[in-house]
Chains A and B, each alone.
Chain A
């Protein structure tokens, strides 16, 4: 029985990491329609910021999270202002442009910092296993689970209970009409992109003590993030958390009962079949398509 329980918690842990990484992408893609291929690199920058803060400034992981959010958010804001702003009606060009930014970020980090794997210290208070309901699990993973739930709640609150969120939803529905109502859509877009980038940075920082920090770590994360967003349904926050949970649990169970290679293959196969029969993902939001064809 506690094997099943341990596996459920493991699945939740995998799901929480997926959610952390995918939440920023869901916001950006859902709200602005920008396919951000550099999302993995934003995660990577968050991890490197955590390493740099630890090594050069001496700030630990937890206190540094706020700084990392703003640093990577600022970087996202700059990308949006300089590049993405001009490409809102050209989705194919945004893919190319963001892919290029991703490559530049990877090689830039490699040139500045070097290609070696880097070490980020886990907060000492969480670095051992703890016993929970009769089985042992990692304290840090539980922290990530709690943190991602909290972050999701905060994001939901931001989108559905603040005026910023209302303006964002208005722009998502119909940008022209929203602008007619006096909403500065350009500014909202920039802030949204920065927020999504900041979330990605937090994901990178939190994941780095469990894995390693290297310039290419982002490429696997961007694939996972897109899987979660596509399965969950674009423009649906509930869809993001649901699909992260489902994908995480399935991956965990399949990996336990066979192995990780088969688990990955079967989960991807499942996603392909799901999209074939339900291209809009699990949760479709009831938004009328805008006249501009976005």
Chain B
């Protein structure tokens, strides 16, 4: 049979008409059809399991799965089980966007828990904003974002530095050396830090950025020796943290006179650098594994039981854990037919719970979380000693370094 143009056009038109009538979700853009179908609530889990950032993101995946399993074991949410759909974006922001699209459109997830790096969050943001879905981001980050499609459970610069910087100035002195990895997170943190230092009369004697993943710090350490700062404010990340601390120690510098104060050194990095390289330096974070509270003991024991006795919990895996519980609290308030990302977002505003770090609260204006920053000093045994817990929980102000911008419930406003 001769398959001419007319036949072809008729055939495709018929197939198209058939498809759109029988499968309406191809063209219906509203993704709220059948979110809680079959007594199951589908959520996406989007952390890298392979690639360079998998070192940390694996633990975030594990903490999320632990929380989901615990909730399901207690009966789920109003009798409905949470079904996690795990994707591995392999530490590549472009793949993050692809997987996010798959979770939101293909799997019809009602929320996605994910991301560690800011690059990956920025890559998936358009997906969630365009499809009106909800992204739960557990990592400390540089602030300056006001998306209504993201719940931020990690600390922003004002929460990490407002207590930390004055404490360090008072204890050690006013000459500060800023060193960070060369991307947006350290630059914004240093930007905020410089404003705080100016406020307290301290000075920045040197500010420099090393390439991401850089591990040769001998020149930087020579500069430490030469300029003799009172405090080294370090925002290097990942492998660089380990290399910097180890080389600092090998060079014989003294953390009692020239301590390194960091926002990114967690129990993971301390385990990799060894107790003697870590000891004496300071970290500010809302959570440390040694925090003495019943909720934290329960969390750490459950985590070790599930994933291995040698595992550690840290200040990114703890928000990954408690944000699933916040999700549960929000969804529990909704009727099953009413569960979609927008209603969950409205339901989670002002929600509170006792997280392993203390009581946390989702701020309705900017969808960030009120947290309890703590100042810890690393000990030779590889854990932290908590020197100071902030007296009260700190409000998240993502635009505090930019006084002419404020994040409100309606969106970003210029004032």
Interface set of A (CB-CB < 8 Å, partner B): 3, 6-7, 10, 13-14, 17, 107, 110, 115-119, 121-122, 127-130, 135-141, 209-214, 216-217, 220, 251-252, 255-256, 259-261, 263-264
Q: Judge whether A119 and B208 touch: CB under 8 Å.
A: no
Q: Does B95 contact A (CB under 8 A)?
A: no
Looking across the interface, which residue of chain B has its beta carbon closest to that of A128?
A: B252
Interface string of B40-73 (1 = CB under 8 A from A): 0000000000111011001000000000000000
Within the complex, the shortest CB–CB distance from A120 to chain B, in Å, comes to: 9
Report whether A107 and B50 are in contact in the complex, using a CB–CB cutoff of 8 Å. yes
Q: How far is the CA of A191 from the CA of B25 in the complex (A)?
A: 63
Flag if A127 contacts B271 (CB, 8 Å): no
B209 lies within 8 A of A6 (CB) = no
User: A10-B219, A117-B55, A117-B242 are known contacts. Are A122 and B250 too (CB-CB below 8 A)?
Assistant: yes
Q: Which of B272-280, B327-335, B395-403 contacts A (4 or more CB under 8 A)?
A: B272-280
In the complex the two chains form, what is the Cα distance from A260 to B182 in whole Å?
10
Assembled-state Cα–Cα distance A252/B216 (Å): 10
The residues of A that contact B182 with a CB separation of less than 8 Å are 261
Q: Which residue in A3, A130, A141, A212 is a CB contact (below 8 Å) of B273?
A: A212
Assess the B222–A7 pair: CB atoms within 8 A. Answer: yes
Q: What 1/0 mask marks residues of chain B from 243 to 258 whose CB sits below 8 Å from any chain A CB?
A: 1001101111100000
Q: Is the CB of B272 within 8 A of A117?
A: yes
Known: A107-B50, A212-B242, A214-B239. A140 touches B250 (CB 8 A): yes
Nearest-CB distance from A91 to chain B (Å)? 29
Residues on A with C-beta less than 8 A from B247 are 138, 210
A212-B219 in contact (CB<8A) = no
| A263 to B210 Cα, complex, angstroms | 10
In the assembled complex, how far is the CB of residue A214 from the closest CB belonging to chain B, in whole angstroms?
Answer: 6
Q: State which of B50, B219, B253 has its C-beta within 8 Å of the C-beta of A255.
A: B219
List A contacts of B276 (CB < 8 A).
Answer: 127
**Given the complex of chains A and B, what is the CA–CA distance between A255 and B211 in angstroms?**
12
Interface residues of B (CB under 8 A from A): 50-52, 54-55, 58, 182, 208-211, 213-216, 218-220, 222-223, 225-226, 239, 242-243, 246-247, 249-253, 268-269, 271-274, 276
Question: Which of B210, B215, B219 contacts A256, CB < 8 Å?
Answer: B219
Cβ contact within 8 Å between B239 and A212: yes
CB distance from A6 to the nearest CB of B (A): 5
Q: Which has the most chain B C-beta neighbours within 10 Å: A7, A17, A116?
A: A116
Q: Is the CB of B274 within 8 A of A119?
A: yes
- For B274, the chain A residues whose CB sits under 8 A away are 119, 121
Residues of A within 8 A of B52 (CB): 216
**Contact of B239 (CB < 8 Å), options: A115, A137, A211, A252:** A211
CB distance from B74 to the nearest CB of A (A): 30
Q: Would A261 and B250 count as touching, CB distance under 8 A?
A: no
Give B239's nearest chain A residue, CB to CB. A212
For the complex of A and B, the 6 pairs showing the least CB-CB separation, nearest first, are A129-B252, A117-B272, A255-B219, A212-B242, A138-B250, A259-B208
Minimum CB–CB distance from B284 to chain A (whole Å) comes to: 21
Ordered by A's residue number, 11 sampled pairs between the chains whose C-beta atoms are within 8 Å are A3-B222, A10-B222, A17-B216, A110-B50, A117-B272, A136-B252, A138-B251, A212-B239, A216-B51, A260-B219, A263-B219
The residues of A that contact B219 with a CB separation of less than 8 Å are 7, 10, 251-252, 255-256, 260, 263
Q: Contact: A3 with B226, CB < 8 Å?
A: yes
User: Are A259 and B209 CB-contacts (below 8 A) given A14-B218, A127-B276?
Assistant: yes
Minimum CB distance partner of B246 in chain A? A210
Tell me, rounded to whole Å, the shortest Cβ–Cβ distance linking B344 to chain A: 32
Cα of A212 to Cα of B278 in the assembled complex, Å:
13
Given contacts A210-B250, A216-B51, A256-B219, 8 further A-B pairs with CB under 8 A are A14-B216, A110-B50, A116-B55, A117-B268, A136-B251, A212-B243, A256-B223, A260-B220
Q: Which residues of B are found within 8 Å of A217, using beta-carbon distances?
A: 239
Q: How far is the CA of A256 from the CA of B226 in the complex (A)?
A: 10
What is the CA–CA distance of A141 and B52 in the complex, to the nearest angstrom? 27
Given contacts A7-B222, A117-B269, A260-B220, contact A211 B210 (CB under 8 A): no
**A residues within 8 A CB of B268?**
116-117
Cα separation A110 to B50 with both chains bound (whole Å) = 8
Within 8 Å CB of A107, what residues of B? 50
Give A116 to B266 CA distance when docked, in angstroms: 13
Q: A115-B54, A129-B250, A211-B246 are in contact. Are A260 and B214 (CB under 8 A)?
A: yes
Q: Which residues of A contact B215 (CB under 8 A)?
A: 210-212, 220
CB distance from A7 to the nearest CB of B (A): 6
Name the residue among B50, B51, B272 with the largest chain A CB count within 10 angstroms: B272
Q: Is the CB–CB distance between B220 and A255 below 8 Å? A: yes
Of all chain B residues, the one with the shortest Cβ separation from A217 is B239
Task: Give the shortest distance, in Å, between A275 (CB) and chain B (any CB).
Answer: 22
**B272–A115 CB distance below 8 A:** no
**Chain A positions within 8 Å of B54 at CB level:** 110, 115
> Which residues from B are CB-within-8-Å of A214?
55, 239
Closest residue on chain B to residue A257 by CB atoms? B219
User: Taking A211-B243, A260-B208 as contacts, is the C-beta distance between A13 and B214 under 8 angstroms?
Assistant: no
**Does A6 lie within 8 Å of B225, measured CB to CB?**
yes
Task: Name the residue of chain A whose CB is nearest to the CB of B216.
Answer: A14
Roughly how many angstroms separate A136 CA and B239 CA in the complex, as a whole number?
25
Q: Which residues of B contact A127 (CB under 8 A)?
A: 249-250, 276
Tell me which residues across on chain A come within 8 A of B209, comparing CB atoms: 259, 261
- With a cutoff of 8 Å between Cβ atoms, the chain B residues found around residue A213 in the complex are 272
Residues of A within 8 A of B220 (CB): 255, 260
Residues of B within 8 A of A252 (CB): 218-219
Q: In the complex, what residues of B have CB within 8 A of residue A137's CB?
A: 251
Chain B residues, Cβ within 8 Å of A138: 247, 250-252
Residues of B within 8 A of A251 (CB): 216, 219
Least CB distance from B171 to A in Å reads 24
A17: chain B residues within 8 A (beta carbon): 216
Q: Is the CB of B239 within 8 A of A141?
A: no
How far, in whole Å, are A180 and B68 apart by their CA atoms in the complex? 70
Residue of B nearest to A207 (CB): B215
> Chain B residues with Cβ under 8 A from A261's Cβ?
182, 209-211
Report the minimal beta-carbon distance from A208 to chain B, rounded to whole angstroms. Answer: 10
**Residues of chain A lying within 8 A (CB to CB) of residue B51:** 216
Tell me, in angstroms, the Cα distance from A14 to B226 when the chains sit together. 19
Cα A214 to Cα B240 with chains together (Å):
12
Q: CA–CA, A130 to B252, complex, Å?
A: 8
Which residues of chain B are within 8 angstroms of A6 by Cβ–Cβ distance? Answer: 222, 225
